[in-house]
Amino acid sequence: MRVLHTMLRVGDLEKSLHFYTDIMGMKLLRKEDYPEYEFTLAFVGYGDESETAVLELTHNWDTGSYDLGNAYGHVAIGVDDVYKTCEKIKEMGGTIVREAGPMQGGDTVIAFVEDPDGYKVELLEDK
């Protein structure tokens, strides 16, 4: 068994695809419209779905935004250098909501960015 994907509902698919592909460096793996049911699924990730977990971005055509609730935490992504990654994200127009630095009570370097729908993405420095 393995994790296949995590699904996020998004209000503006093009903005979300820009964030996850252009800013976060993922690849659009597949995208399919379901006109009869008025939704689109787009799968993005850093590798092939057969080898790694990916994100499923679900866009319901009649919904422009969602209540995130208080149970959602974040998606975590490992990076070589959190400080440099944050600078690149800022240069590309991304929003950093927790600047790079050691995590509270530890020495692991982390940061948090926010996608266009308000979902938090944690950047963790790979050691």
Rounded alpha-carbon distances, angstroms, from residue 52 to 47, 49, 57, 61: 6, 5, 16, 28
Catalytic residues: 122
Contact 13, 57 (CB under 8 A): yes
CB atoms within 10 A of CB 5: 17
